[in-house]
Amino acid sequence: DRSPGMGGGSQPTVLSAVSDVLASRVPLDRLRASAIRAKMLQYMRFRPLLNIDRDPDCPWPHEDPYERYGAEHFAQDGPTIWYEPLPPMLPNLEQNPKLPPVASSETYSLVLDLDETLVHYFEMDGLGNYEIRPGMYDFVARMHQLGYEIVIF
């Protein structure tokens, strides 16, 4: 096989995964990001930058302080991609849900942003002011009547 990334061996690599994605009959804008991500994670080994020598001048921690969601899908061999051990951008919501469980599967949650959605902030004469958006009370009341659980952040 002379496909990209095979390198004469039979083990697929990152380049062969990219080649498979690009050779797909599905246009790139139609591919699901999760499918591409899952394919790429099979070949990449992610490791946090750590202070393994306990150097007092090293900015990195001794061990990664965060549980990495999806780390079980990372490759155990292959090219290493080093990263700074920052808090995860996407939490594992199955492990730490932010909202309590819904009382019924027929309940929908409507999440609204307070700032610039329900109220409008403006400055006048050097002072901060806010006004409630027109129709806000009617909108929230109507959504409540329709049975929505309303979450405002």
Place of tokens 């109507």: 142
Residue 44, pLDDT > 70, answer yes
Q: What is the pLDDT of residues 15-36, one digit of tens each?
A: 777 888 788 777 777 777 777 7
Residue 84 in contact with residue 46, Cβ under 8 Å? no
Output the pLDDT for position 97. Answer: 65
Q: Distance between CA 119 and CA 83 in Å, rounded?
A: 39
The kind and range of the H/E element at 149 are strand 149-152
Output the pLDDT for position 51. Answer: 92
